[in-house]
Chains A and B, each alone.
Chain A
Amino acid sequence: METKVEIHNLRKQFGPFTAVDGISFQVGRGEVLGFLGPNGAGKSTTMKMVTGFLTPTDGTAVVCGDDITRNPLAAKRHMGYLPEGAPGYADMTPTGFLRFIAEIRGFRGAERDRRVAEVMERVHLLEVAHQPIDTLSKGYKRRVGLAQAILHDPQVLILDEPTDGLDPNQKHEVRNLIREMAEEKVIILSTHILEEVDAVCNRAIIIAHGRVVADGTPGELEARSRYHNAVVLRLPEGRDAPGIEGLPDVAGVEREEDGDTGGVTLRLLPREGRPILDEVTAWLRERAIEPLELYVEQGRLDDVFRTLTTHH
């Protein structure tokens, strides 16, 4: 895998407050990196430094071989950036605005017009092409923001909360677009929506208080959840499984009574994430208990997220 973005010990201090506290990681081609963290964790600040808007207090980012602090113009040429909230010049139309971006990215004449037309078609902006940006809906504004970020076909795409505030259809559309571009680019997107990570990312970094607290594939992170390999067992009315918590690899049991059917659902948590399915099915067979439903959980990202980002 070809490394495209290297982030070295980035720090940002606002007065006495440290917003980003020594973040380092590398991202390669084909990776869609979800940058996760609660509000105020330092996601936006990190992105602002990587894209060259804010000057780091310490550390740097190297994008496609160009250092953003030493050679900002070259580094910026490799990147497309969607700032948080997708700002745009309110009085301009999407066409006018994208032409301006195309020109500032160095395209002129027919090449400029071709790029603008292409990108507008790609993100479905044609129907509002000549309407001032401040009259557009949130969804369209976000598309304008995405269009300006991808117009020059950058190798690295940095998107700050690209789906925030969009309705489910619009979210779906933006995610499709991200998936389409994933193969040829490096994409770093920040979010606090965990389902987004499962939907589009093949890697996730969780940050809290300006530091990286976890880095791995969504599957690897889920494996760190106490629900990883948990067995869920739904029993019919009147049945229970007394004593199942005594199994050697079962660390605990969460019970949930179902008021409507009178049944009960047991969630058996494994000791240190060990697989317990065999043990549980054997135990049930011995006692001739037939569950209505029995399955193994992968683990929950939100659980990992909460554990990692709160006890700091």
Chain B
Amino acid sequence: MTRQIGVIFRRELGAYFTTPIAYVFIVIFLFLSGVFTFHLGNFFLRGQADLHSFFTYHPWLYLVLIPALAMRLWAEERKSGTIELLLTQPVTLADAVLGKFLAAWAFAAIALLLTFPIWITVNYLGEPDNGVILSAYLGSLLMAGGFLAIGSCFSAITRNQVIAFVLTAVVSLAFVLAGFPLVLNFFTGWAPQVLVDTIRSFSFLSHFDAISKGVIDIRDIIYFVSLIAFWLYATVLVIELRKAD
């Protein structure tokens, strides 16, 4: 951690709150969390005091919301020309990429923390296993980081935020669907088992499912961390190659 990462992190996180984006994002996130949990997730019908129906929908929620959060990371800097200002300061590109990513991740963490009333509700209604809930929160946060790192990379490709949004959403969808039975069934039968397993192993869903059930496997954590590292590295390369555009 260099001090420069901290400086960029603070500016970036502050920037979320000086514009309405932050508030709009948080309101939509909380609203959709509620809708998914209580209506689609049959929270009350299940008759169980847990947050299963809350976390199940997080991949889908993130699929729409995280690209919106990530799209401005670099596209905006390109469009306004501030990228030139930032990268001629004494900072390394890696510090800039990391500082901006961490700010977006911290923002996602704040939005996630603000869902605490739902957690209070289950504790009021019954006696949930709070360890499982904590683990699921951790999984959700890691998954949000994965989505954001993908978004960081595609935001660096273009100065157009809409394009950045669409590309991020499509690639994220691929990462979510890779674990879906529908997709896997398409491959089983004709493709070698190794390939099917590889595809499954890339899925957000399979890694997130385990953590959200309270099983913290170091491999799932390594998966998300290396996924983030990979996409951030790709972000650095993309900016390095396309700085002039």
Contact = CB atoms under 8 A, between A and B. Distances in A.
B88 A51 contact: yes
B89 A101 contact: yes
Contacts of B3: 106
B217 to A, nearest CB: 39
A53 B89 CA distance: 9
Given A14-B244, A53-B243, A100-B7, A48 B89 contact: no
* Of B3, B7, B85, B244, most A-chain CB atoms within 10 Å: B85
Interface stretch (A75-83, A116-124, A232-240, A274-282): A75-83
Contact of B84 (A55, A73, A83, A91): A83
Nearest to B6: A103
A87 B88 contact: no
Interface string A93-114: 0001000110111100000000
Given A92-B18, A104-B7, A87 B87 contact: no
A89 interface: yes
A273 interface: no
Interface in B190-245: 240, 243-244
A54 B244 contact: yes
Given A53-B88, A54-B244, A104 B80 contact: no
A265 interface: no
Interface string B4-42: 100110010011001100000000000000000000000
B110 interface: no
A76 B89 CA distance: 6
A74 B85 CA distance: 16
Contacts of A54: 243-244
A148 interface: yes
A28 interface: no
B126 to A, nearest CB: 44
Contacts of B85: 81, 83, 87-88, 148
Nearest to B240: A55
Contacts of A53: 84, 87-88, 243
A22 interface: no
Contact of A91 (B7, B19, B90): B19
* Of B84, B87, B92, B240, most A-chain CB atoms within 10 Å: B84
Interface residues of B, number: 23
B88 A91 contact: no
B131 interface: no
Given A14-B244, A54-B243, A104-B8, A89 B82 contact: yes
A52 interface: yes
A17 to B, nearest CB: 11
Given A87-B80, A89-B82, A90-B80, A73 B90 contact: yes
A251 to B, nearest CB: 46
A81 B244 contact: no
Contacts of B18: 91-92
Contact of B7 (A51, A73, A87, A103): A103
B181 interface: no
Nearest to A88: B82
* Of A101, A104, A105, most B-chain CB atoms within 10 Å: A104
Interface in B71-94: 80-82, 84-85, 87-92
Contacts of B82: 87-89
Given A89-B82, A92-B15, A100-B11, A77 B90 contact: yes
A59 interface: no
A105 B88 contact: no
A53 B7 CA distance: 20
A55 to B, nearest CB: 8
A105 B90 contact: yes
Interface string A24-54: 0000000000000000000000001001111
A85 B79 CA distance: 12
Contacts of A90: 80
Nearest to A84: B81
Given A76-B88, A76-B90, A104-B7, 12 more contacts: A51-B88, A52-B87, A53-B243, A55-B243, A73-B92, A83-B85, A88-B82, A88-B85, A89-B11, A89-B15, A92-B11, A104-B4
17 contacts: A52-B87, A55-B243, A76-B90, A79-B88, A81-B88, A83-B88, A88-B85, A89-B11, A91-B18, A91-B19, A92-B11, A92-B18, A96-B14, A100-B7, A100-B11, A103-B7, A104-B7
Shortest Cβ-Cβ A-B pairs, 4 listed: A87-B81, A103-B7, A76-B90, A51-B88
